[in-house]
Amino acid sequence: MKIVILSRQPALYSTKRLVEAGQQLGHEIQVVDHLKCNIEIEKKKPKVYYKGAYLENVDAIIPRIGASVTFYGTAVVRQFEMMKVFSAVESQALVRSRDKLRSLQLLARAGVGLPKTIFTNFSKNVDHVIEAVGGAPVVLKLLEGTQGLGVILADTNNAAGSVMEAFNGLEARIIVQEFIKEAGGADIRAFVVDGVVVGAMKRQGKEGEFRSNLHRGGSANIIELSEEEENTALIAAKAMGLGVAGVDMLQSDKGPLVLEVNSSPGLEGIEKATGTDIARKIIRYVERNV
C-alpha cells in the first residue's frame, strides 16, 4: 500500500515511528506537509498537488494535524476523502475533537462522566458561574488551548473572578470546570485504536503543578485500567467518531471523568511508558480498512 502521513515535522518521534512501522510491514510511506498542499476542486476530479506533482495512487492517509492549523489541515484530509482515500482520522471527527465545547456536549450526550463545566457568553455574573461548579478552587481553560497552555487553576473565588473578568475583557472564550482534588495532579491517557484500548499510562504532574502534560515536565508510567475506565475510553472515542484517539481521564470519587479526546495523540510517551508498539497497531488498523 501507499500510505501518506500528513505531518509538518518528519523528525518528530510520532511521525518517524509511523514511517518505521509502515516500512517494516512492507508499505510505501510518504510524509507530506499538509500546509504545502494545493487543493484542486473540480467536478468529479478532486486532486492534491504537492511539491511539483500530484499525489496519486494513495491508499490511505494518517493525519497528524496540529491544533493551530486545524482549518487547512482538515481541508486537505477532506480532499483525500473525496478522492476515496481512507483516512485513519476522519475529517469530521478531527473537527469535532478540536472544538472543546462541542466535544464536551457530545461526550455528555453519550453518558460519559465529565467534570462539571460551565460555558457562558462573557457573562458578568462570574460569582454564579464559580459557585455553579462548586466554588474555588476551579479550573479555567481557553477554548483554543493545547498541551496544558491556557489552563489556569484559581485557588480562591476572588482569583477565579479576576481571571474570568480579564478573559471576558479580552473577549477570550473560556470554560470553567470543577477542580477534582482527589486526582492529585495526575490523569490517565488511554490510547484507543479501532475500538480497542491498546495502551494506557498514568501521567503525574511535577511537584507544585496541577497539569500532568508531559510537555510541562510531567512523568508517565504504565497503568492497568479498571473495566469502568476502559469502557469510558471506548465510549468517548466512539462518541467522537475517532478510530485513533488519546482519551484523557481523571480518577475521581465519582468514577472516571473525561477531560479531552485527542485526535492526534503523541506516540512517544505512551510507547515508552507501556513498551507497546502503538505505531504498528495504527498501521494494522489502516490495513484492515483499505
- pLDDT the model gives residue 100: 87
Task: For residue 18, tell me if it sits in a domain.
Answer: yes
Q: What is the pLDDT of residue 207?
A: 66
Q: Which domain holds residue 29?
A: 2-96
- Residue 106 counted as domain residue: no
What is the CB-side half-sphere exposure of residue 228 using CA atoms within 13 A? Answer: 13
Which CA distances in Å does 7 have to 22, 33, 43, 146, 149? 15, 5, 28, 17, 22
Domain CATH for 130: 3.30.1490.20
Final residue before a domain boundary, out of 153, 179, 205: 179
The pLDDT value given to residue 26: 98
pLDDT of residue 278: 98
* 277 and 204 co-located in one domain: yes
The C-alpha cell of 82 is what? 473525496
Question: In this predicted model, what pLDDT tens digit does every residue of 66-118 receive, in sequence order?
Answer: 988 999 999 999 999 999 999 999 999 999 999 988 999 999 999 999 999 99
Q: How far is CA 188 from the centre of its chain?
A: 13
Q: Are residues 190 and 266 in the same domain?
A: yes
Same domain, 270 and 203: yes
pLDDT for the residue numbered 116: 94
User: What is the tens place of the pLDDT at every residue in 257-269?
Assistant: 999 999 999 999 9
Residues 86 and 124 in one domain: no
d(CA 150, CA 67): 13
The residue among 289, 108, 270, 59 whose CA lies nearest residue 194 is: 289
Q: Which cell numbers hold the place of 73?
A: 489541515
The whole-angstrom separation of Cα 260 and Cα 144 is 13
Q: Which of 179, 198, 219 is the last residue of a domain?
A: 179
Indicate whether 173 and 229 sit together in one domain: no
Q: Which of 159, 179, 199 is the last residue of a domain?
A: 179
Q: Are residues 147 and 200 in the same domain?
A: no
Distance in angstroms (rounded) separating the CA atoms of residues 78 and 84: 10
Residue 71 lies in a domain: yes
For 233, the grid coordinates are: 475510553
Q: What is the pLDDT of residue 8?
A: 96
DSSP state of 36: G
What is the model's pLDDT at position 172?
84
Residues 192 and 264 in one domain: yes
pLDDT tens, residue order, the chain (290 aa): 999 999 999 999 999 999 999 999 999 999 999 999 999 999 889 999 999 999 999 999 999 999 889 999 999 999 999 999 999 999 999 999 999 889 999 999 999 999 999 998 888 888 899 999 999 899 998 877 555 567 888 999 999 999 888 888 888 888 899 999 888 889 999 999 999 999 999 998 766 555 555 555 577 899 999 999 999 999 999 999 999 999 999 999 999 999 999 999 999 999 999 999 999 999 999 999 99
**CATH number, domain containing residue 238:** 3.30.470.20
What is the domain-level CATH number for residue 33?
3.40.50.20
Nearest to 138 by CA among 126, 146, 120, 124: 126
**Can you read off the three cell numbers belonging to residue 260?**
479531552
**Predicted pLDDT of residue 35:** 97
Asked whether residue 103 is domain-assigned, the answer is no
191 and 174 assigned to the same domain: no
- Say how many CA atoms lie within 13 Å of 210 toward its Cβ: 15
Q: Return the ∠ at Cα 243 (arms to 247 and 228), rounded to 5°.
A: 40
Q: Please indicate, yes or no, if residue 101 is contained in any of the structural domains.
A: no
The string over 94-111, giving b where at least 16 C-beta atoms fall within 10 Å of a residue's C-beta and e elsewhere, is bbbbbebeebbebbeeee
Nearest to 259 by CA among 207, 206, 203, 219: 203
Task: Assess if residue 283 is contained within a domain.
Answer: yes
* Same structural domain, 163 and 196: no
Give a yes or no: residue 67 inside a domain.
Answer: yes
Name the E strands within the chain. Answer: 2-6, 28-32, 37-40, 47-50, 53-54, 60-63, 86-87, 117-119, 138-142, 151-154, 174-178, 186-193, 196-204, 219-222, 244-252, 255-262
Same domain (yes/no): 124, 188: no
State the pLDDT at residue 214. 56
Whether residue 28 lies inside any domain: the answer is: yes
The pLDDT of residue 208: 56
76, 122: one domain: no
Domain count for the chain: 3
**Main-chain phi, psi angles of 94, to 5 degrees:** -65, -45
54 and 33 co-located in one domain: yes
